[in-house]
Every structure is written in structure tokens, then in C-alpha cells.
């Protein structure tokens, strides 16, 4: 993979002590693309490869304090948003995004962990959507998140298209619905506001921790490199699929990314 100039990409997400997801994984992906990676912590989690046992939200005031410290020194060339960890971070996130209208911003709306723990209150979703509306380049919900945002669970690529269109209308930005948990054919569906794009790939028997973080961070890397959105999505899906083949088992739970 070719190197780029030393631009800064910023992750706004949670801290996963297993390093399988969140800011630690995002920064590793940014560096793989040749960028400097920095992270603003929204929350600290207690988790392992099997489950999340606790979430401590750091709050909007401290999120802004971290942000001001970073931008005082260097301006980001792209932003990836992951787990917020609580509704208290939503106004601060809106303020941060408002200050960067001209750079790629990818939002992975992490609402619930794979083990079922809520990472953002369901009641906070309308406020969350209103704060990011028309401020982002792409939203990347999985099937569970697409169900919450669109009001109906997609069961196949055609229903994923409708969900992507509804969500894109809600946030005023393109939407990539990730279909990794479809029962049979696995496909991701992009709606860019004009047309649909379908990205098919193989279904893995083992779920890998942090796959959503990896894909969205890769997407940001390709967008900052100047790739058009459909091409960036295609390349990021391919890159993620290749990295999934090299995942390793950390403990007694899901595998994590290791070499990419």
C-alpha cells in the first residue's frame, strides 16, 4: 500500500482495553494507510473478546477539551466517529463536526455491542441524528443499527437498499448499510443520494471483533486519499475482507484483527 503525506486523521470513539476495537484499532488502521492517527476518547469500557461489562462516559466537556488540545497543534484531514458512550457527548460532537465542513467525516453509529449491551441510549438517537445531519460524508450502520434508524430490519439486499435510502434522507448524507449478519448472501449496500451500489463478499463462520471499526476507518483512509465514495467503499470492503482472513483469537471469545 502506497504511503501518503503525514496528514492527521482523528478518531472520536471509545477505549477498548483489549485493543480489538475503538480508538486503538482506528489509529492502527490510520497508520497502516500512512497517516498520523489521533484519538479523542468518548468513553472507557470494561470489555474483553466475549462481552462488555461496563461503560464510563467521559462527558461532552472533556471531549471538547481533548479536541481543543489536538486542533491547537494540528488540524485533522479526516474524522471517524465511533461509539459515543452516552447522550452527554452528542452536543459536543455536533460542535466538533460543525468546525470541519470541508473534510471527509465517516460515522459508524455504534449503538449496541455484539453481546447486546446498549452503548448509546435508544432515546438519544433523534438528538444524535439531528446533530450530525448534513455534517458528515458517510454513515455506516450494521443491520441492527439500520433497523433502529429506518424502523424496519432489512432481511435481504433489496430491503437494505430501502433502509439505506431512508437513513440517507434522515441524515442528509450517503449511507452504507453493512450486511455482515445476513443469513445467506453477504452484501453491503451504498446509497449515495442518487444511486445504489452493491458490494458482495463471503460470509465468515467466525465473527471478528472490531470489524465495523476497521471498515469505517479504512473508508476514511481511502476518502482522504481522494478516492470517490463508491470506489472508497469497494476498496475498504476488499481491504477489510483481506484483514479478516488474518484475524487471531485473543481469548475465549471472538477473534480480533492482528495483521493488515
| List of domains in the chain | 8-256 (3.40.1190.20)
pLDDT of residue 139: 98
Q: Which parts of the chain have pLDDT scores under 50?
A: 4
For residue 85, give the nearest of 129, 28, 41 by alpha carbon.
41
Q: Residue 113: its pLDDT value, please?
A: 78
The DSSP 8-state label assigned to residue 204 in this structure reads P
What confidence score (pLDDT) does residue 194 get? 96
Q: What pLDDT does residue 25 have?
A: 96
What sign has the CA pseudo-torsion 160, 89, 7, 257?
Answer: negative
Supply the pLDDT for residue 209. 86
d(CA 188, CA 196): 10
- Residue 64's pLDDT is 98
pLDDT of residue 260: 80
pLDDT score, position 79: 99
Amino acid at each position: 500500500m502506497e504511503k501518503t503525506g503525514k496528514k492527521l486523521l482523528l478518531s472520536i470513539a471509545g477505549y477498548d482495553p483489549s485493543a480489538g476495537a475503538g480508538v486503538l484499532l482506528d489509529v492502527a488502521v490510520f497508520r497502516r494507510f500512512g497517516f498520523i492517527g489521533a484519538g479523542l476518547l468518548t468513553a472507557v469500557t470494561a470489555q474483553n473478546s466475549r462481552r462488555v461489562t461496563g461503560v464510563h462516559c467521559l462527558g461532552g466537556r472533556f471531549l471538547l477539551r481533548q479536541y481543543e488540545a489536538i486542533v491547537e497543534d494540528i488540524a485533522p484531514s479526516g474524522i471517524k466517529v465511533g461509539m459515543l458512550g452516552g447522550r452527554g457527548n452528542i452536543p459536543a460532537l455536533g460542535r466538533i463536526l460543525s468546525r470541519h465542513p470541508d473534510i471527509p467525516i465517516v460515522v459508524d453509529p455504534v449503538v449496541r455491542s455484539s453481546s447486546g449491551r446498549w452503548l448509546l441510549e435508544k432515546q438519544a438517537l433523534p438528538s444524535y441524528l439531528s446533530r450530525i445531519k448534513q455534517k458528515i460524508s458517510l454513515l455506516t450502520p450494521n443491520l441492527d443499527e439500520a433497523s433502529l434508524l429506518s424502523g424496519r430490519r432489512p432481511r435481504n439486499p433489496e430491503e437494505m437498499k430501502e433502509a439505506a435510502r431512508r437513513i440517507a434522507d434522515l441524515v442528509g448524507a450517503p449511507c452504507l448499510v453493512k450486511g455482515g449478519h445476513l443469513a445467506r448472501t453477504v452484501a453491503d449496500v451504498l446509497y449515495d443520494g442518487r444511486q445504489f451500489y452493491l458490494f458482495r463478499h463471503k460470509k465468515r463462520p467466525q465473527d471478528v471483533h472490531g470489524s465495523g471499526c476497521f471498515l469505517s476507518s479504512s473508508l476514511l483512509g481511502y476518502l482522504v486519499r481522494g478516492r470517490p465514495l463508491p470506489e472508497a467503499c469497494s476498496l475498504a470492503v476488499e481491504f477489510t475482507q483481506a484483514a479478516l482472513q488474518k484475524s487471531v483469537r485473543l481469548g475465549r471469545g471472538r477473534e480480533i484483527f492482528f495483521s493488515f
